[in-house]
Amino acid sequence: MKMIFIWAIILFIIPNTYSKSNIKNAKKAVYTVSGNCEMCKKNIESAAKINKTAFGIWDKNTKQIVLIFDSTKTSADEILRKIALVGYDNDKYLASNEAYNDLDKCCQYLRKELPKTKVDVMLPIKEVDNLNASISDNLEDPKNAEIIQKTDTIKQEPIIIAPIVIVKDSVRTNIPTNNAKVKTAVSKTDFTAFLTQYYAIKNALIADKMVAANKNAALLLVEIDAIRMDKLSSDEHMVWMKYFDKLKADVTKISVAKDIEKQRIAFSSLSNNLWLTVKGMKINDNGAIYVDYCPMKDAYWLSSEPAIKNPYYGSSMLTCGSIKETIK
């Protein structure tokens, strides 16, 4: 039996332990790597590390990294590429926008302004809905808007200009202060503002952002109150009277709920009532309104774009669902 143990030790343990040795054929090189903080230091240095082959030491004040590497096995370029892959621009490589955006907020250093393009770059066109998604982000983190505007504009998400939220000045004063970044604009119809605000809640739910949903629901309450019944035709008035209380009740629930799943339950009810309202009052937004259906929750929601973005599961099952009806 003793033999067996010895065998076991030899077989299972030895292959897994290797002696720590110094780097052979060591070469030293210094480069500049963008970054902000201690967290950046950790990210950069772990990207630079290759077992027994390379490591780097980065200084957050000078932004310089000292690389020590085995020049027969790797190169400074290879290491700098790895650093850029985790999001840090450096002398040789620029990180992709995705890698940069994936950095923690505190690590998102200021990127250098790059010369403007000479040709028309084909910028990906994003639907309006994305704009709304960023509203909810901005509401949570006002710093965000600044950062986005400073990032370089070449081949990346469009710059988020002021999110469009339509507000009546008379009531605006009651609203929490976090919409300093929110610019006002004038709507064509009262319902556009109303729907836009509904979509903002939806986008908050899509992004799993409970606080943003709270805030946007509060804003929607204002929009509901802002609908002037005396401007409605008598038919519209009847419909509106029928759903007014229900809509308000649902929205209130969302605005006070401290649990995103409760918000979603209220949102499902809100969506049903809104659907009936929209149909009943023959509201047409500037574009089409899509009524989407989530088979797993047996719930509906409205959207301004045909792409499915399911607000009932958040990012986990974003694209599950189908268009049930298109209101034009």
Partner 1 sequence: MKQKLIKIAKWVFNLLKRIFKAIFIHEKACCKSILLFMVILTSQNIFAQKTVHYDLHIKDTIVTFGGKEKRGIAVNGQIPMPTLTFTEGDTAEIFVYNDLDEESSMHWHGLFLPNKEDGVPNLTQMPIPPHTMHVYKFPIIQHGTHWYHSHSGLQEQIGMYGSFIMNKRENDPTFRKGIDDLPTVPIVLSEWTNLKPENVHRMLHNASDWSAIKKGTTQSYFEAIKAGDFKTKLKNEWKRQLAMDVSDVFYDKFLINGQNESQLTQFKGGDKVRLSISNGGASSYFWLSYAGGKITVVANDGNDVEPVEVDRLIIAVSETYDIIVTIPNDSISYELLATPEDRTKSASLFIGNGIKQLDNSLPKLKYFEGMKMMNDMVKMNGNLKDMGMKMSLNQMDMNVVMYPEITGNLKTKSERKEEKELQKYGEIEEQEMQMEDTNRYNGNALSDIVTLNYAMLKSPTITSLPNDAPVKVLNFRLTGNMNRYLWSLNNKVVSESDKILIKKGENIRLIIENASMMRHPMHLHGHDFRVINGQGDFAPLKNIIDIMPMETDTLEFNANVEGDWFFHCHILYHMMSGMGRVFSYENQAPNPLIPNPKLAQRKLFSEDRKFHFMIENDFASNGNDGELMLQNKRWSLGTEWRLGYHKMHGFETETHIGRYIDKMQFLQIFAGFDYRYRKLEMNEIEKNLFTQKNSKDNRILASIGLEYTLPLLVKLQAEVYHNGYVRLQLMREDIPLTKRLRMDFMVNTDVEYMVGLKYIITKNLAAKIHYDSDMGVGVGLTIGY
Q: Which residues bind partner 1 (CB under 8 A)?
A: 3-4, 7-8, 11-12, 15, 73, 77, 81, 84-85, 91-99, 114-115, 117-119, 121-124, 126, 154-155, 261, 295-297, 307-308, 315-322
Q: Minimum CB separation from partner 1 for residue 240, in Å?
A: 32
**Are the C-beta atoms of residues 304 and 128 closer than 8 Å to each other?**
yes
Q: Minimum CB separation from partner 1 for residue 8, in Å?
A: 6
Lookup: tokens for 184: 């006002």
* Class of residue 98 by CB neighbours under 10 A (exposed 0-12, middle 13-18, buried 19+): exposed
Residue-wise over 269-288: b if at least 16 C-beta within 10 A, else e?
bbbbbbbebbeebebebeee
Nearer to partner 1, 91 or 325 (CB): 91
HSE of 253, CA atoms in CB hemisphere, 13 A: 17
Nearer to partner 1, 315 or 326 (CB): 315
- The CA–CA distances, whole Å, from 198 to 17, 185, 302, 315, 326 equal 58, 17, 9, 19, 17
Q: Minimum CB separation from partner 1 for residue 48, in Å?
A: 16
Question: What is the bridge-based pairing of β-strands 183-185 and 164-166?
Answer: parallel
The closest alpha carbon to 91, from 52, 123, 64, belongs to 64
**Are the C-beta atoms of residues 209 and 217 closer than 8 Å to each other?**
no
The closest alpha carbon to 142, from 103, 174, 105, belongs to 105
CB atoms closer than 10 angstroms to residue 223: 23
What DSSP letter does each residue of 17-34 carry, written as one string?
A: -----PPTTEEEEEEEB-
Nearer to partner 1, 134 or 197 (CB): 134
Nearer to partner 1, 180 or 295 (CB): 295
Nearer to partner 1, 73 or 279 (CB): 73
**Are the C-beta atoms of residues 192 and 286 closer than 8 Å to each other?**
yes
Nearer to partner 1, 43 or 197 (CB): 43
Q: Minimum CB separation from partner 1 for residue 12, in Å?
A: 6
Q: Minimum CB separation from partner 1 for residue 308, in Å?
A: 7
Q: Minimum CB separation from partner 1 for residue 188, in Å?
A: 27
The closest alpha carbon to 94, from 156, 181, 39, 184, belongs to 156
Q: Minimum CB separation from partner 1 for residue 202, in Å?
A: 17
Nearer to partner 1, 24 or 155 (CB): 155
Q: Minimum CB separation from partner 1 for residue 320, in Å?
A: 7
Nearer to partner 1, 170 or 319 (CB): 319
The closest alpha carbon to 129, from 212, 211, 202, belongs to 202
